[in-house]
């Protein structure tokens, strides 16, 4: 005895065996799961149920049976097929389900829409984006670092060309369904259509056979036209390259300036006292044009690729066109970010290591006379930047002025130049290369606020201490212009540097003594000592009592 | 790709005469264009929702009432357009695939 279950399909009652019922219920559920989320899913399900009802009725009539068996259900399943295959590839839905109908997307070079090798348009077809964006990315990469060129070459070699029609369709990989059939078919043939446009006009109304013959005859002309078009395209491409070069370089300068200036190598502030950001100068002064600069450029761009790709994904989402291969984008972005970071760290480490050893080199010049009027008016045009590059020279504004006693009878100007390097000899070589402009005209001693080193020496922590050695009895007037240069000058009054300017100082045995200060001696040591002695005496007296 | 062609074929079948799902299936099966019937229903519904098809109910002697589909005006226009595109595609493919090795 078999239990039967009654079901209602499209208004008709069917009796199903228990086994048949279970199997049929499963199948119907599969169909519902596959179709329900779709637009009009309920209607499709109703249509399918009606068809099943029809098929069941037919089989019942033919075999004159009352109950539906498992064989009938199996027949339905083979006739209607696997619900997964019904799945409607609606235009917006990303293609994730097994790829039954659309076929797997593959990366090809699209030589139909190529400027050089069709790499960019192939990639664009693969990701379903506009080729313009891919070309822009390549151009940007090319002009920033040249990495785009290498990438392009590698991709050109690695990616096969889409030669056959099948490959061209595979390249796009889009399921061609109704909502985009017009677009897909027409767009894909746009190029072909263009090529045959002229030909078609000439042949309207003529027979198919003539058409074919003429076609063959025109083929080579079309070929030539095609090549001409490509040449024109290449010319425009070159033009774009030049424009891109200019834009890219400008962008790069700005970008790298920001990157470089916000960093802080070994505690050296790139932000000047005035709060100005040192852009290009700092980058050039520190990195020069060596491999580190290139590495840093590549590194910073690779690092930037990540946010750019992220932005692309977000944009794509905003435009409700999710990227076909979001995972690949993520992987590429992540990899380039890590790679870029590694490059930056490596180059940064290299640069840092060239700051390792420090040495000093001293130069001494004898001065005339014994009275000096010290001014920092020679080449003092300071714009507050630490670095300035002009004529193959790197100007470094890092000068400290000190005044000390000379144990000779003549005054001298000593220049202590400190520089860093990767090794002792490297640092020494660098320390020897400097030029400090100064001149003496009568008593007027003009010095400058900066010194220069050859541009190729690069900035490696150079600093210059200028020491004016004065013999006993000689005098020096400190012009207000030297204020920025003073650096902890010892004097008999323990006055601050800032207070020393505008006065004349005389070198005495106890140090520099102010000759024209109105209010002095409040810190004089003798007075302090007397006071202490007096206090001690009083304490003694108090104790004795 | 097959799907796009399927849709074109459906429009083509309905262009010559109105039909109900089973007729369309038989024709498609006869041309070996369709393997399982289930594929057709979503297509028909979508074409109908896109305003390209219209349908009417007709009683059936052997089962539930049937949906008879016919082309709407816009469906007819679209079918003509597709036909042109298809013919262009056909000749293009022929030319492309019979063209001697391109450089």
Calculate how close chain B gets to A44, using CA atoms only, in Å.
6
Q: Does B55 contact chain A (CB < 8 Å)?
A: no
Residues of B in Cβ contact (< 8 Å) with A109: none
The residues, any chain, with a CB within 8 Å of residue A21's CB and separated by 6 or more, are A4, A5, A7
Interchain pair B88, A193: CB under 8 A: yes
Taking an 8 Å cut-off on Cβ atoms, the answer to whether A85 and B67 are in contact is no
- Which pLDDT score, from 0 to 100, does residue A415 have? 92
Q: Identify the band that residue A323 occupies on the pLDDT scale cut at 50, 70 and 90.
A: low
pLDDT at A141: 75
A112 at interface of B, judged by CB pairs closer than 8 A: no
pLDDT value of position A101: 40
Banded model confidence at residue A159, pLDDT cuts 50, 70, 90: confident
With respect to residue A119, please indicate whether it lies within any of the assigned structural domains.
no
Average per-residue pLDDT for chain A:
74
* Total number of domains constituting chain B: 1
Q: What is the DSSP letter of A266?
A: G
Listed range (A18-27, A259-268, A430-439, B56-65) with the worst mean pLDDT: A259-268
Q: Do A85 and B97 touch (CB under 8 A)?
A: no
Q: Which of A169-178, A363-372, B16-25, B83-92 has the lowest mean pLDDT?
A: A169-178
Q: Are residues A404 and A463 in the same domain?
A: yes
B87 touches chain A (CB under 8 A): no
User: Own/partner pairs for A129-133, CB < 8 Å, 24+ apart?
Assistant: A129/A316, A129/A323, A133/A312
Contact B15, B79 (CB under 8 A): yes
Length of chain A: 545
Task: Indicate whether A70 belongs to any domain.
Answer: yes
Report the pLDDT averaged over residues A465-474.
89
Q: How confident is the model at residue A65 (pLDDT cuts 50, 70, 90)?
A: confident
* pLDDT (0 to 100) of residue A314: 67
Q: Is residue A402 located within the same domain as residue A509? A: yes
A315 interface with B at CB cutoff 8 Å: no
A173 Cβ partners below 8 Å, 6+ apart?
A95, A102, A103, A104, A105, A106, A126, A324
In this structure, of A213-217, A463-467, B91-95, the range with the lowest mean pLDDT score is A213-217
CATH code assigned at B51: 1.10.10.10
CA nearest to A60 within chain B = B62
* Cross-chain Cβ contact B64/A11 below 8 Å: yes
Residues A369 and A336 in one domain: no
Give per-residue burial for A396-408: e unless 16+ CB within 10 Å, then b.
bbbbbbbbbbbee
Is residue A271 predicted with pLDDT exceeding 70?
A: no
pLDDT band at A227 (very low <50, low <70, confident <90, very high): confident
Whole-number pLDDT of residue A176: 41
Region A420-445 average pLDDT: 87
Chain B partners within 8 Å of A57 (Cβ): 62-63
When CB atoms are compared, the residue of B1, B43, B88 closest to A189 is B88
Closest CA to A467 of A361, A364, A395, A358: A364
Residues A300-321 pLDDT 10s: 777 777 666 666 666 676 666 6
User: In this predicted structure, what is the pLDDT of residue A437?
Assistant: 85
Nearest CA in chain B to A8: B64
Contact B3 A101 (CB under 8 A): yes
B38 interfacial to chain A (CB closer than 8 Å): yes
**B contacts of A184 (beta carbons < 8 Å):** 4
**How do beta strands A504-508 and A438-441 pair?**
unpaired
Which of B24, B38, B59, B99 to mutate against chain A (most A CBs within 10 Å)? Answer: B38
Pair (A347, A430) in one structural domain: no
Residue ranges making up the domain that contains B8 = 2-98
Domain boundary among A26, A54, A86: A86
Considering all CA atoms of chain B, what is the largest pairwise distance in Å, rounded to the nearest integer? 62
Report ipTM (2 d.p.).
Answer: 0.81
pLDDT of A9 strictly over 80: yes
* Residue A373 sits in the same domain as residue A494: yes
Residue of B21, B42, B49 lying closest to A51 (CB–CB) = B21
Higher-scoring residue by pLDDT: B35, A457: A457
Q: Do B37 and A80 touch (CB under 8 A)?
A: yes
- A237: in domain: no
Assess whether pLDDT exceeds 50 at residue A376: yes
- B91 is a domain residue: yes
Please state, for a pLDDT cut of 70, what percent of chain A lies above it: 68
Banded model confidence at residue A194, pLDDT cuts 50, 70, 90: low
Pick from A462, A438, A433: nearest CA to A449:
A438
Q: Tens digit of pLDDT for each residue in B6-22?
A: 888 888 888 888 888 88
Task: Let me know if residue A472 belongs to a domain.
Answer: yes
pLDDT average, residue stretch A357-368: 88
Q: Are A320 and A364 contained in the same domain? A: no
pLDDT value at residue A213:
62
Q: Which residues does A3 contact at the CB level (< 8 Å), separation at least 6?
A: A17, A18
Contact flag A181-B35 (C-beta cutoff 8 Å): no
Assess B101–A contact: CB distance below 8 Å, yes or no.
no
pTM listed for this prediction: 0.39
Q: Which DSSP helix (H) or strand (E) runs through A296? A: helix A291-318
A468 is in which domain, residue-wise? 357-526
Name the residue among A434, A457, A437, A462 with its Cα closest to residue A447: A437
**Which candidate, B18, B31, B19, places its Cα nearest to that of B6?**
B31
pLDDT in tens, A384-425: 556 666 667 888 888 888 998 888 888 899 999 999 888 888
| Residue carrying structure tokens 């990767």 | A422
Q: Do B38 and A178 touch (CB under 8 A)?
A: no
Q: Examine the domain organization and report whether A366 and A512 are in the same domain.
A: yes
In a domain, A214, yes or no: no
A481 and A425 in a common domain: yes
B45 in reach of chain A (CB within 8 A): yes
Helix axes A178-203, B2-16, angle to 10 degrees: 70
Which secondary-structure segment (H or E) carries B3? Answer: helix B2-16
Contact B85 A185 (CB under 8 A): yes
B99 Cβ under 8 Å from any chain A Cβ: yes
CB contact B35 to A (< 8 Å): yes
- Number of Cβ atoms within 10 Å of the Cβ of A230: 15
Smallest Cβ–Cβ distance between B3 and the set A38, A48, A89 belongs to A89
**Is residue A442 located within the same domain as residue A513?**
yes
Give the long-range contacts of residues A500-507, CB within 8 A, separation 24 or more: A502/A478, A503/A477, A503/A478, A504/A475, A504/A476, A504/A477, A504/A478, A505/A403, A505/A475, A505/A476, A505/A477, A505/A478, A506/A473, A506/A474, A506/A475, A507/A405, A507/A406, A507/A470, A507/A471, A507/A472, A507/A473, A507/A474, A507/A475, A507/A476
CA distance B45 to chain A (A): 6
Which tops the pLDDT comparison, A15 or A283? A15
Residue A62 predicted with pLDDT over 50: yes
pLDDT of residue A181: 46
Instruction: Give the mean pLDDT of A272-295.
Output: 57
**pLDDT-derived band of residue A523, with 50, 70 and 90 as boundaries?**
low
Write out residues 122-161 of A within 8 Å (CB-CB) of B. none
Structure confidence at residue A192 as a pLDDT band (50, 70, 90): low
pLDDT at A268 over 50: no
Whether A310 is covered by a domain: the verdict is yes
Q: Taking CB atoms and an 8 Å limit, are A189 and B82 in contact across chains?
A: no
Mutate one of B1, B33, B55 to test the A interface: name it (highest A CB count within 10 A): B1
Lowest-confidence segment of A114-128, A267-281, A303-317, A499-513 by average pLDDT: A267-281
SS3 call for B37:
helix
Confidence of residue A99 (pLDDT cuts 50, 70, 90): very low
Give Cα A66 to chain centroid, integer Å: 74
A74 CB within 8 Å of a chain B CB = no
Specify the range with the lowest mean pLDDT, choosing from A76-85, A441-450, A519-528: A519-528
Q: Do residues A484 and A386 share a domain?
A: yes
Q: How many residues does chain B have?
A: 103
Domain presence at residue B103:
no
Q: Do B49 and A47 touch (CB under 8 A)?
A: no
pLDDT at residue B47, rounded to an integer: 85
What percent of chain A clears pLDDT 90, i.e. is strictly above it? 1
B61 touching chain A per CB within 8 A: no
In the structure, what pLDDT confidence band is assigned to residue A207 with cuts at 50, 70 and 90?
Answer: low
A370 and A439 fall within a common domain: yes
Q: How confident is the model at residue A343 (pLDDT cuts 50, 70, 90)?
A: confident
Q: Using an 8 Å CB-CB cutoff, list chain A residues near B50.
A: 178-179
Same domain, A401 and A488: yes
Asked whether residue A152 is assigned to any structural domain, the reply reads no
State the average pLDDT over residues A78-90.
68
Q: Number of folded domains in chain A?
A: 3
A172-176, A443-447, B48-52: least confidently modelled range: A172-176
């Amino acid at each position: 005895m078999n239990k039967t279950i009654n079901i209602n399909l499209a208004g008709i009652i069917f009796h199903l065996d228990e086994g048949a019922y279970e199997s049929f219920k499963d199948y119907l559920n599969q169909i519902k799961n596959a179709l329900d989320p779709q637009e009009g899913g309920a209607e499709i399900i109703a249509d399918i149920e009606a068809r099943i009802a029809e098929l069941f009725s037919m089989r019942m009539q033919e075999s004159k049976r009352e109950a539906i068996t498992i064989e009938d259900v199996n027949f339905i399943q083979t006739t209607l097929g696997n619900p997964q295959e019904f799945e409607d590839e609606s235009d917006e839905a990303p293609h994730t389900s097994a790829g039954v109908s659309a076929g797997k997307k593959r990366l090809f070079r699209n030589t139909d829409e190529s400027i050089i090798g069709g790499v960019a348009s192939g990639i664009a077809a693969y990701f379903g984006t506009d080729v313009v964006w891919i070309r822009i990315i390549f151009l940007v990469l090319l002009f920033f670092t040249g990495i785009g060129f290498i990438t392009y070459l590698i991709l050109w070699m690695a990616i096969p060309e889409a030669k056959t029609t099948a490959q061209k369709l595979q390249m796009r990989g889009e399921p061609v369904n109704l909502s985009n059939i017009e677009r897909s078919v027409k767009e894909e043939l746009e190029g072909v259509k263009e090529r045959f446009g002229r030909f078609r006009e000439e042949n309207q109304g003529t027979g198919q056979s003539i058409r074919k013959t003429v076609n063959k005859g025109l083929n080579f002309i079309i070929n030539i036209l095609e090549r001409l078009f490509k040449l024109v395209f290449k010319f425009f491409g070159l033009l774009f390259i030049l424009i891109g070069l200019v834009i890219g370089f400008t962008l790069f300068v700005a970008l790298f300036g920001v990157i470089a200036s916000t960093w802080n190598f070994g505690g050296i502030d790139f932000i000047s006292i005035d709060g100005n950001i040192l852009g290009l100068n700092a980058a050039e002064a520190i990195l020069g044009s060596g491999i580190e600069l290139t590495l840093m450029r590549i590194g910073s761009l690779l690092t930037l690729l990540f946010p750019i790709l992220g932005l692309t994904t977000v944009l794509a989402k905003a435009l409700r066109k999710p990227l076909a291969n979001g995972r690949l984008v993520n992987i590429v972005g992540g990899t380039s970010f890590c790679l870029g970071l590694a490059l930056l760290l490596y180059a940064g480490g290299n640069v840092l290591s060239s700051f390792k050893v420090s040495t000093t080199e001293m130069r001494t010049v004898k001065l005339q006379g014994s009275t000096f009027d010290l001014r920092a008016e020679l080449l003092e045009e300071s714009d507050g930047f630490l670095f300035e590059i002009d004529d193959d020279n790197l100007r470094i504004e890092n000068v400290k002025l000190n005044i000390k006693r000379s144990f000779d009878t003549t005054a001298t100007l000593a220049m202590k130049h400190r520089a860093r390097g990767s090794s002792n000899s490297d640092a020494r070589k660098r320390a020897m290369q400097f030029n400090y402009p100064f001149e003496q005209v009568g008593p007027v001693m003009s010095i400058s606020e900066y010194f220069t080193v050859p541009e190729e020496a690069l900035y490696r922590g150079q600093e210059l201490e200028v020491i004016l050695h004065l013999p006993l009895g000689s005098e020096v007037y400190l012009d207000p212009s030297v204020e920025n240069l003073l650096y902890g000058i010892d004097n008999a009054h323990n006055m601050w540097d800032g207070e020393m300017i505008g006065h004349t100082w005389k070198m005495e045995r106890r140090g520099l003594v102010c000759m024209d200060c109105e209010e002095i001696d409040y810190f004089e040591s003798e007075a302090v000592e007397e006071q202490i002695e007096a206090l001690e005496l009083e304490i003694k007296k108090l104790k004795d009592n | 790709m097959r799907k796009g062609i399927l849709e074109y074929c459906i429009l083509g079948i309905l262009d010559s005469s109105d039909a109900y799902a089973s007729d369309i299936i038989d024709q498609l099966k006869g041309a070996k264009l369709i393997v399982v019937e289930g594929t057709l229903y979503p297509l028909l519904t979508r074409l109908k929702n896109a305003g390209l098809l219209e349908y009417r109910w007709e009683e059936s002697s052997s089962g539930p009432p049937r949906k008879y589909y016919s082309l709407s005006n816009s469906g007819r226009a679209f079918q003509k357009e597709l036909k042109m595109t298809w013919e262009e595609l056909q000749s293009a493919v022929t030319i492309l695939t019979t063209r001697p090795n391109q450089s």
